[in-house]
Amino acid sequence: MGRCAQRDGVACSHRRSDDLQLRRCRVDEQLSQLAHEAPIAVFLEECCCVEASHTQIMTDTALADLASRMATARRVTAMTGAGVSAASGVPTFRGADGLWRRYRPEDLATPVAFAHDPSLVWEWYAWRREQVAACRPNAAHNVLARWSQHDGFRLITQNVDDLHGRAGTRGLVRLHGSIWELKCFKPCANGERPWRDERVPLPEQPPLCPHCGGLARPAVVWFGESLDSAVVDRAFEATTCDVFLTIGTSAVVYPAAGFVDEARAKGAFTVEINTETTPASSCVDLSLIGPAEEILPSIEQLLAESK
């Protein structure tokens, strides 16, 4: 018996075996875990060591259970990260093609880096603004935008691309700001409040503060900077809910990474949707391994059928 080559990680403890009965037992075991609400990982991509039909049963059961919880929940909160925009063509930060693979964050996403070389940092942001401008919201953004029309649904995002907004999301909590907003770097009295500028390219590089003529910066939250306290309060308040979904985030950047634990500690049923396992995977009640742009429409479909 060898380890599953495809997923030799925390969430996949399956062992390769020619013994079909053993494989069945493992699936049965996971199904019964689900019934008893123990943490469980469900792979929506085919796993080499579980028969496809069994993987499908696990997936269907997990999704049906989640949909029924969401249908009866008074409050549902979702928190998203860069993975939600991956299908739109926006690079993630830490994946194989992630932004941090080509640039060191400490070179680009800190106030010290900006003070040291504002032109370099603005070059990076100008490139990203150009890239995001050509992207459209995908099925994941669209499902979340439709859910946001219901009272009791909250969406917190770490993303700065504004694709949730463009999909029509209501009451969005943006933890890390927006690349479409600028503020004064100093900041001067009037330049502390961000202003919106969606021009691509910006007419001046680096752009200047219209109030004091000093350097303007992207109105995003860099490493070592505090998040807006009112925004954090809203996000924290949203962790009081019946179901909390953490979607497409590597769950390593705080304070965002702590919200799922906070929600679980307050009694929420916690769910992760991600193409890979993360530090959150072993802590949530249900870990759905697969693309958000496929899983969210499946959940939406099940919710519609349950009406």
Q: Does 227 bind Zn ion (CB under 5 A)?
A: no
For ligand BJW, which stretch binds (CB under 6 A), given 16-24, 70-78, 141-149, 289-297?
289-297
Q: Which of 87, 121, 209, 215 binds ligand BJW (CB under 6 A)?
A: 87
Of 23-42, binders to ligand BJW (CB under 6 A) are: none
Binding mask 156-195 for ligand BJW (x = CB under 6 A): --x-x---------------x-------------------
Q: Does 270 bind ligand BJW (CB under 6 A)?
A: no
- Report the partner that residue 65 touches, choosing among Zn ion, ligand BJW, none (CB closer than 5 to 8 A by kind): none
Q: Does 98 bind ligand BJW (CB under 6 A)?
A: yes
Q: Does 224 bind ligand BJW (CB under 6 A)?
A: yes
CA-nearest of 146, 148, 177, 140 to 238 is: 148
- Report the partner that residue 254 touches, choosing among ligand BJW, Zn ion, none (CB closer than 5 to 8 A by kind): ligand BJW
Catalytic (active-site) positions: 176
Of 125-184, binders to Zn ion (CB under 5 A) are: 184
Q: Which of 15, 211, 234, 264 binds Zn ion (CB under 5 A)?
A: 211
CB neighbour list of residue 67: distance below 8 Å, 6 or more residues apart = 299, 302, 303, 306
Around Cβ 96, how many Cβ atoms within 10 Å? Answer: 6
For ligand BJW, which stretch binds (CB under 6 A), given 41-49, 166-174, 206-214, 215-223?
215-223
Q: Which of 83, 137, 165, 191 binds Zn ion (CB under 5 A)?
A: 191
- Report the partner that residue 234 touches, choosing among ligand BJW, Zn ion, none (CB closer than 5 to 8 A by kind): none
Q: Does 97 bind ligand BJW (CB under 6 A)?
A: no
CA-nearest of 104, 110, 117 to 215 is: 117
Residue number with the shortest CB distance to ligand BJW?
Answer: 83
Q: Does 254 bind ligand BJW (CB under 6 A)?
A: yes
Q: Does 267 bind ligand BJW (CB under 6 A)?
A: no
Q: Does 248 bind ligand BJW (CB under 6 A)?
A: yes
Pair 49, 16: CB distance under 8 Å: yes
Q: Does 225 bind ligand BJW (CB under 6 A)?
A: yes
Q: Which residues bind Zn ion (CB under 5 A)?
A: 184, 188, 191, 209, 211-212, 214
